[in-house]
């Protein structure tokens, strides 16, 4: 592997082989998502605990100071919105030249396997991989957002993840599901888990992240269940322990409870 590519991957996946990516890209199709209305306010307290941030160029420039940044995974697909016809109808929104100018560690793009726009999104991924490989920039493929999340089962997620890896993604982001090892075993590149919409309890998040890690995930790309939590810093610290210290869900809960009671 070329030095630049290896160096960027090492910025993302830490020396223990694990990673905690913090996505704040939701506004690119959802607008001012709850608790992300002012991205700088959401991000600043969490940044010290993230290994990388998944973000669009607009929010990166406006809301992250260049001298305090973490490795950046630049969201480079979009072009649709929650009020438009079809979220799956995305194109590439940001050039590789811009990604290089922003000194990113990786770029990220969604694919929509099983939709009307399956082929376009997969060709977008392939084109992005061609461009990224030319300059040593890894591509993270994001599987199954929006309506596709209804298909949250191993057969579908394994299919989408494997296709992303076959087309050259260096990292695949998917959702946790029952029998998650079917997804990781069938995907020859590192797999990270997203959280999806906020769930009712912190324990549910610790449980699925722990299970996914035991079943071969390298980490998370997990947003709403961190920054929509009442105590986001406590949440990210507890998740860090699961990911980097192999903490059990019970231990993570204890960390969360002790962190949330600390004075800010």
**Residues annotated as catalytic (active site), given as ranges:** 173
Q: Considering beta carbons, is residue 126 or 228 the nearer one to ligand 5RP?
A: 228
Alpha helices in the chain (DSSP H): 3-12, 27-30, 39-43, 57-63, 96-101, 118-135, 154-166, 180-185, 202-214, 224-227, 232-245, 249-260
Three-class secondary structure of residue 253 per DSSP: helix
User: Are 166 and 213 spatial neighbours (Cβ–Cβ below 8 Å)?
Assistant: no
Q: Considering beta carbons, is residue 76 or 262 the nearer one to ligand 5RP?
A: 76
Instruction: Annotate each residue in 216-245 with x if it binds ligand 5RP (CB under 6 A) or - if it does not, as one string.
Output: -----xxxxx--------------------
> In whole angstroms, how close is the CB of 115 to ligand 5RP at the nearest point?
15
Is there binding between residue 194 and ligand 5RP (CB under 6 A)? yes
> In whole angstroms, how close is the CB of 195 to ligand 5RP at the nearest point?
3
Euclidean distance between CA atoms 264 and 261, whole angstroms: 9
Q: Considering beta carbons, is residue 145 or 236 the nearer one to ligand 5RP?
A: 145
Dig out the tokens for 219 from the structure.
């980490």
Site residue total, ligand 5RP (CB under 6 A): 14
Is there binding between residue 145 and ligand 5RP (CB under 6 A)? yes
Euclidean distance between CA atoms 45 and 157, whole angstroms: 32
Is there binding between residue 12 and ligand 5RP (CB under 6 A)? no
User: Are 109 and 124 spatial neighbours (Cβ–Cβ below 8 Å)?
Assistant: yes
Residue from 9, 12, 23, 43 touching ligand 5RP (CB under 6 A): that is 23
């Amino acid at each position: 592997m070329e030095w630049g590519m290896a160096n960027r991957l090492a910025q993302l996946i830490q020396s223990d082989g694990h990673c905690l990516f913090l996505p704040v890209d939701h506004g690119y199709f959802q607008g001012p998502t709850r608790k992300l209305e002012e991205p700088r306010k959401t991000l600043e307290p969490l940044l010290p605990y993230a290994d990388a941030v998944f973000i669009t160029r607009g929010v990166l420039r406006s809301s992250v100071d260049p001298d305090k940044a973490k490795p950046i995974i630049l969201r480079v697909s979009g072009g649709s919105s929650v009020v438009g016809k079809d979220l799956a109808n995305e194109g590439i929104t940001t050039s590789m030249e811009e990604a290089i100018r922003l000194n990113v560690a990786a770029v990220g793009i969604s694919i929509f396997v099983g939709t009307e726009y399956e082929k376009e999104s997969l060709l977008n991924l392939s084109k992005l991989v061609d461009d990224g490989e030319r300059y040593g920039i890894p591509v993270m493929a994001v599987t199954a957002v929006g309506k596709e999340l209804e298909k949250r089962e191993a057969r579908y997620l394994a299919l989408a993840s494997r296709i992303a890896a076959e087309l050259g993604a260096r990292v695949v982001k998917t959702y946790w599901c029952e029998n998650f090892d079917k997804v990781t075993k069938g995907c020859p590149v590192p797999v990270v888990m997203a959280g999806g919409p906020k769930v009712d309890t912190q324990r549910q998040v610790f449980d699925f992240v722990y299970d996914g890690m035991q079943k071969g995930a390298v980490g998370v790309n997990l947003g709403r269940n961190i920054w929509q939590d009442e105590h986001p810093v406590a949440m990210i610290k507890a998740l860090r322990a699961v990911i980097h210290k192999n903490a059990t869900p019970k231990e993570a809960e204890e960390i969360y409870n002790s962190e949330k009671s600390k004075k800010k």
